[in-house]
Amino acid sequence: MAVTAPFASLLLVIGALLLFGKVWPSRLGLVATAGIACLSYLRWRIMDTIPWGGDFGELWWPVTCLAVEVFGMFDAAILLALLARPTNRTPEADAGEARLRALWASDESALPSVDVFIATYNEPREVLEKTILGCLALEWPNAKVWVLDDGRRPWVRDLKPAEQQERQGRQHQPCD
């Protein structure tokens, strides 16, 4: 019975959230579930696992562990409080995109150049190929994609175009 006690209220909360399905996907529902679970755990931890009637030799270690756990839960509570209040930045992003597209339509040379660097280290060929193709599909007038590799994999050299810059022990491969 003592082993299931800390989880009983958690199971009840999860069951209620599953029954009333609209609460489960919400951030507030998730934060409330985590908060109730933590409070239930702390009640069990403080009331049932610490020998409060013992002397200092019996109390110092459980109380120290409890203090560390409470500190960790406080830190997690701050994180959950921040995550529970999302900010919708869609209007700002849309306005910025509209400004850049208008600038692009009027004067393409006014846009800054963009270099995309792909640093590789032992990625499989198919992963690197998909990454390069994704970067080449960027909608930007003067973007340049570079593959940064140490030259230890010969198949990476096969992916590069004819134009490249090399440095001793490292090579930079433009992919445009």
- Regarding whether 72 and 18 lie in a shared domain, the answer is yes
What would the pLDDT profile of 47-88 be if each residue is shown by its tens digit? 988 988 889 888 999 999 999 999 999 998 888 778 767 788
Q: What pLDDT score does 1 carry?
A: 46
- Regarding whether 79 and 136 lie in a shared domain, the answer is no
Overall domain count for the chain: 2
Beta bridge partners of 148: 119, 172
Return the exposure string of 155-173: e unless at least 16 CB atoms fall within 10 Å of the residue's CB, then b. ebeeebeeeeeeeeeebeb
Category of 54 on φ-ψ map: left (φ > 0), alpha (ψ -120 to 50) or beta? beta
- Regarding whether 113 and 75 lie in a shared domain, the answer is no
Q: Locate 94 and state its tokens.
A: 């849309």
pTM over 0.75: no
Look at the block and give the residue holding tokens 């409060």. 52
CB 141 within 8 A of CB 104: yes
The domain in which residue 27 lies consists of 5-83
What would the pLDDT profile of 129-143 be if each residue is shown by its tens digit? 888 888 888 888 888
Sheet with strand 165-167: strands edge to edge: 114-119, 143-149, 170-174, 165-167
Question: Torsion over CA of 31, 32, 34 and 36, rounded to 10 degrees?
Answer: 160
